[in-house]
Chain A
Amino acid sequence: MADVITTPRERHKPPAPPRTGRVAGLLAEFDSPEALKDAARKVREAGYTRWDAHAPYPVHGIDAAVGIRQTRLPWVVMGFGTLGCVTGLWLQWWTNATSYAQYPGVSTFLQGYDLIVSGKPFWSLPANIPIIFELTVLFAAAAATFGMLLANNLPLFSQPVFHCRRFMRVTTDGYYITIDASDPRFRAAPTADFLLAMHPVAVEQLEEPHTPAATPPVARRTFLFLSLLALIPLGLIAVARNSKSATPRIHPNQDMDNQVKYKAQQALPRFADGRAMRPPVGATPEQPLGLTVARGELYEDDHFYRGIVNGAFVTSFPTHRLEVPLNPALLRRGQERFNIYCAPCHGRDGSGNGIVNLRAVELSGTLGGAWVQAIDLTDDERRGRSHGHLFNSITNGIRTMPPYGDQIPPADRWAIVAYVRALQRSANATPADLPPEVQKEVQAR
């Protein structure tokens, strides 16, 4: 039996590969994907089991010709994807939503820690979805990649076909069928005749490659040396974990830890009092904030800003200010502000029956608890209050009502006072207050 069995179509006879003497199988080359498929079908029908078809690309229809069953890879990928999903879920729950030492049996460096962030819940699925998704994809993709390689028995660097020159074109434009010598039906001469009958370009005998013992000693020594080198970092970590050190940890720059600045409570001899922190200019025990006022924050107009002049509530509007002209526009502004800030409790009519009040009364009826009714702004007592008194109550709050001075600018507070006066007037109006023509209309009814 010759090494190379050529057919008449073969022109160049390739040099014979180095011989080890043991037959690994037979190789037949075909000149087109159609010929390959026909041959594959015949080999399969002849009952061979340890054989394969080789092509430079996935030939359409080769799976059916060779009789390849659908791979189970998708199920493996799905399994690992599910594992990634569960890992992401578990990792985030364990590390962020369990408290330290909650599970005493667990080693300390694996304990979770329920860190509070902005008062958010420790365990909230929406915030955890991105990482769950990423880990699902990562695990599934790794399973697809490595699952494919493992199922294909790769990496496999030493194969009989790689010692056959003719086979080198398998990754360019060659089509081959190999039948393994370990196939139960393999008989060197009859199998070669069987392949020749399919009109291949050539049939060639494959030989066992050199044994793995032929790995060059240099390569083995290099591998051993690199493996030992790889152990050094692990050894250093083991030493560090089991020893104590007084020196600070490695820090290429100290900018963040040691900054060129003075901190609160530090000493600075350059100043007479030796303090690095400086008190405000002109500060005395009586005036601890000093004598300076930020620009635009003097607020020296007591009438306008406080509603109090010489210790008494004012009884007039600060009409000397351009912001408080007594006109319908001011009343409309006051109405709008009143409906935003005051009406929720006091009601739009000022009677004290705002929506908050109604709800609170309803709740205190079922849940108990004390609710101080918002007062009626139109009663006689409130009608008797001076303008300055009302202004002061809005600014600083009173009883359970919070201060609104920081939310409503002074001019708007005065506008609200004006509107409250209008509400009081309308709540206590008599028919005589109506315009004459309306009085006539009412009387006519």
Chain B
Amino acid sequence: MAVMVGEIDNTWDDPRRRAPLVTGNLDFAGVTETVCRVTETPVRQTPRAWTIAFSISSTLLLILLLMIAYLFFTGVGVWGLNNPVGWGFDITNFVFWVGIGHAGTLISAILYLFRQRWRTGINRFAEAMTIFAVICALMFPGIHVGRIWFIYYMFPLPNQMGMWPQFRSPLLWDVFAVGTYFAVSLMFWYVGMIPDLATLRDRAKTQARKIIYGLLAVGWNGSARHWHRFERAYLLLAALCTPLVLSVHSVVSFDFAVSMLPGWHTTIFPPYFVAGAIFGGFAMVLFLAVPARAYFGLKHLITLRHIENMNKILLATGMIVGYAYLMEFFIAWYSANAVELFMFKTRAMGPFAWAYWTMVTCNVIVPQIFWSKRMRNNMLVTFLVAVLVNVGMWFERFVIIVSSLAQDFTPAAWDSYRPTWVEILTLAGSFGLFFTLFLLFCRFLPMVAMAEVKVIMPQPHGGHREGS
């Protein structure tokens, strides 16, 4: 069996032996201890890796804030956008980050409805990833409007001018879709976390922790009646999130598909975008999970089986995305529309061919390595593939947006696009925002859903409370 040193192999598929989802002979107290220990480490004993990562990410966050201030006080001219290419890094980053969020909801909601018990080990931090990715995503359309002080025009606010949003525009659907997605994901995340916040409250030693976790846990006391309503509410939220997550990236794709631009005006966009979002999101979950389980000692909760399952999903969704790439070309040819055909030829062989082939390599070719179980179980390979898929998915959005805008119908109106240093630093800064929030989450909130993990563990029997 190809398993790395220090890993416990629970990846077998023999149905006669049910694979354990929690390894290392952990009992309930052990699970609580493993998860809570991370948040309860005194400040002085913070792991060095965390401190280094946090200082890098918070520096990037500071750069982001400076770039946004520069943008606001000087105007959108500091970006490299021009007349045909009105959307560049800003909307590429928006779609990229929204997509990242989708895997979190898929794990927490859709796998819950499908009773995939392995999700409990990873759902909490996948959901956290969703929240933080959507925060990064919401920022970009917010700042790209140029005059941020008119941002309230996006909302249906009563006013004497009779000036309401234009509800027939996909851009407004986006405001509602992503806004709802953020609000509902936040509720889902928080509701699921209440019992675990109560655990932290009950273990709190200092006054500050008692007050903060006490407020966050809203007085949860584990009552059977509360659990009954809690489970029902959680199920309902999962059922609501499932169509929501599919709708959000569909609506994002409408921003493109509903317009009349060659390269955008295609019916395959909604399913193609949703599959791509799940693909990219799972890559981000792996990118975060592989180091987190190593550094925070969570190998018994986020086991090899979890990583292996996610790698399988990466392989499957990667091939869906590859199919969509092929189908776009087929439809361009089959439509016999000269402009459409030209657009796709230019995409693969024109000035942005390097971006196109980077995308195909990272998204379609690289994940094929996961046909091998050996590779699926190798943490280093998993991590590298996750990085490459994230790169590829970012380029996918860049290719769709920029190459379609740069060369549309009238050759006289063509132009190219080159990001400025401000845009590049803003992209880097958005990663700073994401990782700062994520590192704070890892350090101060329960990273694994303890109460949910306990449900899928063997139940204790009378007199064996101390564990086996």
Interface residues of A (CB under 8 A from B): 31-35, 40, 52-60, 62-63, 66, 68, 71, 73-74, 77, 91-92, 95-96, 100, 108-113, 115, 117, 120, 124, 127-128, 130-131, 133-135, 137-138, 140-142, 144-145, 147-149, 151-152, 154-159, 161-162, 167-173, 176, 250-253, 255-256
B251 interfacial by beta-carbon distance below 8 Å: yes
Output the least CB separation between B184 and chain A (Å).
4
Known contacts A73-B236, A95-B167, A141-B184; 18 additional CB pairs below 8 A are A32-B461, A52-B223, A56-B195, A57-B455, A62-B227, A68-B224, A73-B233, A113-B162, A130-B177, A130-B254, A145-B190, A152-B230, A154-B219, A154-B220, A156-B218, A170-B221, A171-B32, A171-B201
Tell me whether A252 and B149 are in contact (CB under 8 A): yes
Output the least CB separation between A140 and chain B (Å).
5
Tell me whether A251 and B149 are in contact (CB under 8 A): yes
Query: Contacts A55-B222, A148-B233 given: A34-B461 contact, CB under 8 Å?
Result: yes
Q: Which of B72-80, B125-133, B319-327, B339-347 is near enough to bind chain A?
A: B72-80
Q: Mark B442-468 against chain A: 1 for CB-CB distance below 8 A, else 0.
A: 000000001110110001111111000
- Select from chain A the residue with minimum beta-carbon distance to B77: A255
**Chain B hits for A255, CB < 8 A:** 74-77
Tell me whether B180 and A172 are in contact (CB under 8 A): no
15 contacts between A and B (CB under 8 A): A31-B460, A32-B463, A32-B465, A34-B461, A57-B451, A68-B225, A95-B156, A96-B164, A96-B168, A115-B164, A134-B177, A134-B251, A171-B201, A253-B73, A256-B147
Partner of A57, one of B158, B163, B236, B454: B454
Tell me whether B230 and A148 are in contact (CB under 8 A): yes
8 closest residue pairs by CB, A with B: A148-B233, A255-B75, A95-B164, A155-B218, A113-B162, A173-B28, A171-B199, A156-B219
Tell me whether B465 and A31 are in contact (CB under 8 A): yes
**Chain B hits for A112, CB < 8 A:** 162, 164
Tell me whether B247 and A133 are in contact (CB under 8 A): yes
B408 interfacial by beta-carbon distance below 8 Å: no
Output the least CB separation between A182 and chain B (Å).
16
Query: Contacts A73-B233, A149-B218 given: A131-B172 contact, CB under 8 Å?
Result: yes
Tell me whether A170 and B222 are in contact (CB under 8 A): yes
Complex alpha-carbon distance, A167 and B462, angstroms: 18
Residue among B184, B218, B223, B452 having the largest count of chain A Cβ atoms under 10 Å: B223
B413 interfacial by beta-carbon distance below 8 Å: no
B285 interfacial by beta-carbon distance below 8 Å: no
**Chain B hits for A124, CB < 8 A:** 168
Size class of the B contact interface (CB-based, 8 Å): 35 or more
Tell me whether B222 and A63 are in contact (CB under 8 A): no
**Chain B hits for A171, CB < 8 A:** 32, 195-196, 198-199, 201-202, 220, 222, 451
Output the least CB separation between A179 and chain B (Å).
13
Tell me whether A170 and B202 are in contact (CB under 8 A): yes
Complex alpha-carbon distance, A357 and B65, angstroms: 67
Tell me whether A137 and B233 are in contact (CB under 8 A): no
Tell me whether B160 and A152 are in contact (CB under 8 A): no
**Chain B hits for A161, CB < 8 A:** 221
Tell me whether A152 and B460 are in contact (CB under 8 A): no
Output the least CB separation between A310 and chain B (Å).
36
Query: Contacts A173-B27, A173-B32 given: A31-B187 contact, CB under 8 Å?
Result: no
Residue among B191, B228, B231, B233 having the largest count of chain A Cβ atoms under 10 Å: B233
Output the least CB separation between A261 and chain B (Å).
13
**Chain A hits for B195, CB < 8 A:** 56-57, 171
**413-456 of chain B: CB within 8 A of chain A:** 450-452, 454-455
Partner of A137, one of B74, B184, B452: B184
Tell me whether B226 and A141 are in contact (CB under 8 A): no
Tell me whether B168 and A127 are in contact (CB under 8 A): yes
Complex alpha-carbon distance, A34 and B462, angstroms: 7
**Chain B hits for A168, CB < 8 A:** 202-203
**Chain A hits for B220, CB < 8 A:** 154, 171
B374 interfacial by beta-carbon distance below 8 Å: no
Complex alpha-carbon distance, A255 and B79, angstroms: 14
**Chain A hits for B199, CB < 8 A:** 56, 171-172
Tell me whether A147 and B233 are in contact (CB under 8 A): yes
**Chain B hits for A100, CB < 8 A:** 162
Output the least CB separation between B255 and chain A (Å).
11
Query: Contacts A96-B167, A144-B236, A145-B187 given: A169-B202 contact, CB under 8 Å?
Result: yes
Output the least CB separation between B68 and chain A (Å).
12
**Chain B hits for A35, CB < 8 A:** 462
B29 interfacial by beta-carbon distance below 8 Å: yes
Output the least CB separation between B208 and chain A (Å).
14
B20 interfacial by beta-carbon distance below 8 Å: no
**Chain A hits for B28, CB < 8 A:** 56, 172-173
Partner of A173, one of B29, B147, B180, B184: B29
Output the least CB separation between A230 and chain B (Å).
18
Partner of A250, one of B149, B226, B455: B149
Tell me whether B29 and A172 are in contact (CB under 8 A): yes
Partner of B236, one of A68, A77, A156: A77
Partner of A109, one of B158, B191, B224: B158
- Select from chain B the residue with minimum beta-carbon distance to A120: B168
**Chain A hits for B25, CB < 8 A:** none
Query: Contacts A32-B461, A128-B167, A256-B146 given: A109-B160 contact, CB under 8 Å?
Result: yes
B117 interfacial by beta-carbon distance below 8 Å: no
**Chain B hits for A52, CB < 8 A:** 223-225
B331 interfacial by beta-carbon distance below 8 Å: no
**Chain A hits for B190, CB < 8 A:** 145
Output the least CB separation between A326 and chain B (Å).
29
